Amino acid sequence: QVQLVESGGGVVQPGRSLRLSCAVSGFNFNNYGMQWVRQGPGKGLEWVAVIWYDGSKKFYADSVKGRFTISRDNSKNMVYLEMNSLRAEDTAVYYCARDYPNNAMDVWGQGTTVTVSS
């Protein structure tokens, strides 16, 4: 079945880095763009980044631009989110999601928790 599994979350100090991974299975990964969405504790959803199906284009929310990098490895069915210069406000559950046609997100992973704290 279609499945997205995130990993790599944890507790990290402000200013440090962390890399999140999302393992994809159950569909032709090469045909889909992928998104990252986050949700702060007790807060709503916030779009973070998107990567084209072939990795050729990447776009970011203003709140993470210049600090986060999205990438993918189509040979491994993996999506990544490299997070640098982390701030307390980056604390959230990070979800990867499949980019559905018509600009929606139709399949979500279970999320991985990132806590930025000293």
Partner 1 sequence: QSALTQPRSMSGSPGQSVTISCTGIRSDVGKYNYVSWYQQHPGKVPRLMIYDVSSGVTKRPSGVPERFSASKSDNTASLTISGLQADDEADYYCCSYAGAYTWVFGGGTRLTVL
The contact set with partner 1 (CB under 8 A) reads 35, 37, 44-47, 50, 57, 59, 61-63, 95, 100, 102-106, 108-111
Q: Of 36 and 80, which CB lies nearer to partner 1 in the complex structure?
A: 36
Q: Of 57 and 76, which CB lies nearer to partner 1 in the complex structure?
A: 57
Q: Of 12 and 109, which CB lies nearer to partner 1 in the complex structure?
A: 109
Q: At closest approach, how far in Å is the CB of 103 from partner 1?
A: 4
CB 83 within 8 A of CB 8: no
| Interatomic CA distance for residues 57 and 61, integer angstroms | 14
* Residue 103 identity: N
Q: At closest approach, how far in Å is the CB of 31 from partner 1?
A: 17
